[in-house]
Amino acid sequence: MSLSKGKYQFTDISMTFISLMTKNIILLMMKETGKAACRHINIPHCKPGQQSCGGSPDGVKCTQCQDPYYSGGYNRGCLECPRINHCTARHCTTPSDTICSECEGNNVLFKLSPDRKSCERMCSHQNDYCWPGTCGSELTKNCQCARNFTRVLTASQTTCQPNIPPEIQTCGTVVTGPNGERVQALSSSSSTECKNLQDMYGNFQPVQLTFDMVSSFTLPKPNDAKPRFIKEHNFGVTDTNVYIEKISVSGSRSRLSSHQQLVDRSSGASANAYFASEANITMNRVLSDGETLCAVFEAFGGGYLKSINVMSSNSVSVAIPYRKIKQTEQVCYRFDSSKPMHCKEKDLCNKEPLTVSRTITSSSIQTIYVDMGSWFDPVPARGKAIQASQIESYEIRVNEVNPSSDVSTVYYTKTIFSRKTTADVNEMTLNLTSDSPRLYCITLEVTDVAKNPRQARRFILYDNTTFIESRNDKPFIVSSASSQTEFKWQTHHHDICLSWKDHFFNRYYLDNKLLNPIAPEPNGLIQGVYEHLQAPLSVNGTPNTDGIISFMVAWNVNGDSFSKEVKVSDFLNQTFCKNVGVKDGDIYTFQIRPIDIVGHTYAENRTVGIDRSVPHIKNIWLTKAGYLPLFVHDSRDLSKMVFTFDAIDPHSGISSIKYSFGVADDSLELTTGMLAVKKLSNSTCPKAAKCYCPDIGSCEMYNYSIALNKLVQTGKHEGDNNRSYVFTIKVTNNAMLSNIERVDILVDDSFPGVGVMYEVASTMQTGPTQGITSSINEESLLTTEATVSSVQHADTTKLRTWSEKQSVNNDDNNNTVLIALCTTVSVVAVVIIALVGAIIYYRRRIEALKCGSTSKEINMNNANNQTGQRENEGHAQVVTDI
């Protein structure tokens, strides 16, 4: 402390000390005062007598408060326990240990939690129905709604609301024009549901729209038991409406009219599972190109429930509606004369509207390609480019073609595959599988924003099971060959012709005419470049014969290599002719190879031999004791005759030998027969064998003998003297050409008489064959039936000259020379007779060949194209007497 100006002044230290002393004094006074004043005071919510004094600083507190309060400490009274929602009785000693002893609507509306710290909401009649559904432990937090329902959980409700819309089963719509035009919405599948109906298209102004609408809303019956607080419930269609709306080219939508069909006036209590309505709506709107008129069908599905107040005499509530859920479907009539267009229609490109990876395939995977740049939407008439709606989508639909014996149809009511894509997707893959061949129609529908469609289609043939086969009842033959040879031999030198009508076939296509013409699209929407007009699989049909679309032919001659294959030009006729320059003895093999629509192939060969000449018959003799040729039989016993001859056909070989023997003048046959052809197994003739090898076939013997001893068995062996008999031989070759030769035989068992022979002249011959050659004239050296074969001098007496003969008288028999018949055949006579016979034989054979050739050419031109049998007849008669 210091003084200043005569007065006391306090320093800071002194002031601090005074302050502390003052505070202590005040505290001490207060303490003494409190001890003297601690008495019962009114502390709200404090139980009586539950007060206490003390604390620092001294104060009063409540040691036990009434529920739901707790002691706040000295001088703070009783504080309220923290609230627990829907708890009607709680207790706590501190703010953190609050517990509930009873909940609102105890065990009806709320349930005390196991830790007593909360009241949990229970499923109940007060907006916590959780129905249809279940409540685990009766708590709303455990609410599980039934299928097709969604839980709605808020502070004020726990409900199960339907989550599926009603179904508009039918919305059949018909639009009628001013002149009675009529178009009906059709389904894209076999189902008639509203969602499957396609939009209608037309170019007439609608004056009336007729519809019939059937809606349904059915939900499965709950499997869980109904809780005690639910009285009843029901679901169904509650409201239906039909709106008529107009869509402009720009896409703006305006509602023209509304037509209520069903109105809910009872909070869902009148809901029905099904509701049907129909109406005629008069139209007075004029649509512009590209505008659309739509019928929008709207249906609401809902329902109601009634609850039981289990806390108040089980009273039943009014109908409590469920939340309504809406379903809409629309069917549109699109007035649009400007359809999408492909550039090929205007010759602006060479692209195809629709391209498939393989038109004919054995693979089930197919790629469909659409060139986006080749499609465009034309500008409406008198419109601007901005008014064109442009391409909106591509839709691919796959349908099967039903084969028919006349015109096949596409089964449009059953879609095997359908996919709609936006305009920026230009390729998609199909997986088409089947256990048998199928012809599929791939339809592309290009739709613009105005919903105006253009369709194109292409066909795909799927086949990985079939094959080509042949049948014997429809033979493959060389038709130019002789039918008598089973078409194995051609007996002329003209064209070789083949025929295989219906011989080759693919059995599946025989029974299922998949390649027949296909009916146009039913509505006529696919024409021109949008139709499948190109082969193969054109809608006009694919030319075929039981699935085969072409034939290839090749040939060889005499076993050489085959020629290059040639395509048969007119394959439907199933014939082929070719001039290959044939000659006798040639062997031609022709191969026909059919190809079916899938590319399967198969081949068969036919071989034909060429032979237009008849067999040769040579050296026909009557033999006796080793002598030949003879034409006189010296005995009336005809059975002793033995004939020999040679039969040869150098090209086709001998097929058969027939003979007959009979009386010459009255054509009486005494016997007939056949000889077996002597075929050899060898490929060559043995040495010294009377054998030859034809151009075609095995080697065979050519010398044959025929004995007539079987005439004895029939009693026809006794002949007549001085009578002619005829022996006929018919030889046929493998080409069924025949040659016939006849030989006359004279029966003469008498002897010649004695005569006179005169020398006419004689010549001296020098050289290696020195001797005298005499010319004689015989007289009275004749037999009645036959000629003299040879004469011989009886002695060495010189023969008279002719002049000497004239000078003798009639009694000169003493000078005659006895001429006896010699048994040895004169060599000179044999040669002369053989030459004469040969000349006659070959002369007649040449004439027969000429006749046969002429006959052959005529026969080849007849309708049956058959080769006639040609017969050469040689007839030689030489009489001799031995």
Nearest to 207 by CA among 259, 295, 282: 282
Bridge partners of 279, per DSSP, are: 211
Give the pLDDT of residue 625: 66
Q: Is 346 helix (H, G, I), strand (E, B) or coil?
A: helix
Bridge partners of 262, per DSSP, are: 240
Q: Distance between CA 186 and CA 172 in Å, rounded?
A: 8
Tell me the two tokens of residue 254. Answer: 């305006």
Question: How many CB atoms are closer than 10 A to CB 220?
Answer: 9
Tell me the per-residue pLDDT of 201-243, one tens digit each, with 9 for 90 and over. Answer: 777 889 999 999 999 999 988 888 899 999 999 999 999 999 9
Cis peptide before 650 (omega within 30 of 0): no
Which residues contact residue 640 at a Cβ distance below 8 angstroms, ignoring those fewer than 6 apart?
A: 633, 708, 709
Q: Is 636 helix (H, G, I), strand (E, B) or coil?
A: coil
- Pair 368, 428: CB distance under 8 Å: yes
Q: Distance between CA 808 and CA 813 in Å, rounded?
A: 10
Distances (CA, A) of 784 to 622, 744, 879: 21, 18, 12
Q: What is the DSSP string of 375-431?
A: EE-PPPTT--GGG---EEEEEEEEEEEE--SS-BEEEEEEEEEEEEEETT--EEEEE
How many C-alpha atoms does 666 have within 13 Å on its Cβ side? Answer: 3
Q: Distance between CA 419 and CA 370 in Å, rounded?
A: 13
Backbone angles phi, psi at 136, to 5 degrees: -70, 130
Q: Tell me whether strands 149-153 and 438-448 are parallel, antiparallel or unpaired.
A: unpaired
- Pair 334, 282: CB distance under 8 Å: no
Nearest to 319 by CA among 227, 259, 235, 427: 235
Backbone angles phi, psi at 335, to 5 degrees: -90, 105
Q: How many residues does the chain have?
A: 882
Which residues contact residue 478 at a Cβ distance below 8 angstroms, ignoring those fewer than 6 apart?
A: 487, 488, 490, 496, 497, 498, 590, 606, 608
- Pair 188, 196: CB distance under 8 Å: yes
Q: Distance between CA 751 and CA 881 in Å, rounded?
A: 8
Output the CA torsion sign for 648, 651, 655, 660: negative
> CATH number of the domain at 353-465, please?
2.60.40.10
Q: What is the DSSP string of 450-481?
A: T--EEEEEEEEEE-SS--EEE-TTS--B-TTS
In one-letter notation, the amino acid at residue 156 is S
Give the pLDDT of residue 720: 84
Backbone angles phi, psi at 508, to 5 degrees: -65, -40
Give CA 544 to chain center in angstroms.
Answer: 14
Angle at 235 between CA 233 and CA 236, to 5 degrees: 150
Tell me the two tokens of residue 78. Answer: 């009783």
Nearest to 643 by CA among 705, 703, 702: 705
> CATH number of the domain at 468-506+544-610, please?
2.60.40.10
Q: What is the DSSP string of 616-635?
A: EEEEEEEEETTEEEE-EE-S
Q: Distance between CA 100 and CA 433 in Å, rounded?
A: 71
Nearest to 369 by CA among 283, 303, 429: 429
Tell me the two tokens of residue 305. Answer: 């429930």
Query: Whole-structure pTM over 0.95, yes or no?
Result: no
Helix (H) or strand (E) holding 859: helix 827-860
In one-letter notation, the amino acid at residue 641 is M
Three-state SS across 695-752?
CCCCCEECEEEEECCCHHHHCCCECCCCEEEEEEEEEEECCCCEEEEEEEEEECCCCC
Nearest to 138 by CA among 126, 156, 114, 120: 120
Class of domain 616-750: mainly beta
Which residues contact residue 515 at a Cβ distance below 8 angstroms, ignoring those fewer than 6 apart?
A: 509, 537, 541, 542, 544, 547, 597
Give the pLDDT of residue 877: 31
Q: Tell me whether strands 208-216 and 167-176 are parallel, antiparallel or unpaired.
A: antiparallel
Long-range contacts of 149-156 (CB under 8 A, 24+ apart): 149/219, 152/323, 156/127
- Pair 478, 604: CB distance under 8 Å: no
Tell me the two tokens of residue 410. Answer: 């596409």
- Pair 670, 608: CB distance under 8 Å: no
Bridge partners of 556, per DSSP, are: 589
Low-confidence ranges of the chain (pLDDT < 50): 1-20, 22-37, 760-776, 778-782, 784, 793-831, 834, 836, 844, 846-882
